A and B are shown apart, each in its own frame.
Chain A
Amino acid sequence: MPYETDYTNQGFTKVGTRVNRPDGVDKVTGRAKYGADANAAGQLVGRVLRSPHAHALITKIDTSKAEKLPGVKAVLTGKDFPDLTGGNRGLMDILENCMARGRALYDGHAVAAVAAIDADTANKALKLIKVTYKQLPHVTDVDEAIKPGAPIIHDWVRTAGVTPAPTTASNVAQRSEFGHGDVDAGFAQADVIIEKSFKTEQTHQGYIEPHACLATLGPDGSGELWVTTQGHFTFRNVCASLLGLEVAKLKVTSSEIGGGFGGKTHVWTEPVALQLSRKANRPVKLVMSRDEVFRATGPTSSTSVDVKIGAKRNGKITAATAELRYQSGAFPGMWAMFGAMTSFACYDLKNVKSVGFDVLVNRPKVAAYRAPSAPMAAFAVESVVDMLAAELGMDAVDFRIKNAAKKGTKASYGPVYGPIGIGPTLDAVKNHPHMKRKLGKNQGRGVACGFWFNFGGQTCTDLNIGVDGSVNLTVGTVDVGGSRASLALIAAEELGIDYEQVRVTIGDTNSLGHNDTTEGSRGTFSSGMATIFAARNAVDVLKQRAAATWDIPVEQVIWEAGEARAKGRQNNNLPPLSLKEIAAKSPRTGGPIAGHNEVVADGAGVSFASHMCDVEVDPETGATKILRYTVVQDAGKAIHPDYVEGQFQGGAAQGIGWALNEEYIYGDDGRLQNAGFLDYRIPVCSDLPFIDTQILEIPNPNHPYGVRGVGETSIVPPLAAIGNAVSNAVGVRMTHVPMSPPRILNAIETAKE
Chain B
Amino acid sequence: MPVVRTSIARLTRLVGINDVEKIIETLFNLKCETELENSEGIAIEVPSERIDMFSIEGIAYAIRLYLGLEKPRLTTPKPSFKVLVEPPTKRPYIAVAAVKGVELDENSLKELIEFQERLHTTYGRNRRRIAIGLHDLSKLPSSNLTYKEVDINISYMVPLFAKKRMTVKEVLVSTEQGKLYGEISLNGDRHPALFSGNEIIALPPVINSDITRLDPTTRDIFVDVTGTDINAVISVLNSIVHSLMFYRGEVLGAEIVYPDRVLLAPDLDFKTIVVDMDFASRWLGVPKDRLVSEVPKALQRMGYIVQSINLEQIEVKVPPYRGDILHQVDVVEDIAIGIGYENLGIEYIQTYPEKKPGKDSKKLMVEVLREVLVGLGYIEVNTLSLISSEILKLVSDEPFPRIVNALSKELDAVRNSLIPSLLITFKNSQYATLPVKIFEIGEVVERCNGCYNNWRNSLRAAFGVMDSEIRFEEIHADLYSVLMEIGVSKDISLEPYRRKGFIDGRCGLVKYRDSVIGVIGEIHPEVLKFIGLEYPVAIVELYLELLTDIIEEVYLNS
Mutual binders A and B: no
Residues on A close to B: CB < 8 A? none
Residues on B close to A: CB < 8 A? none
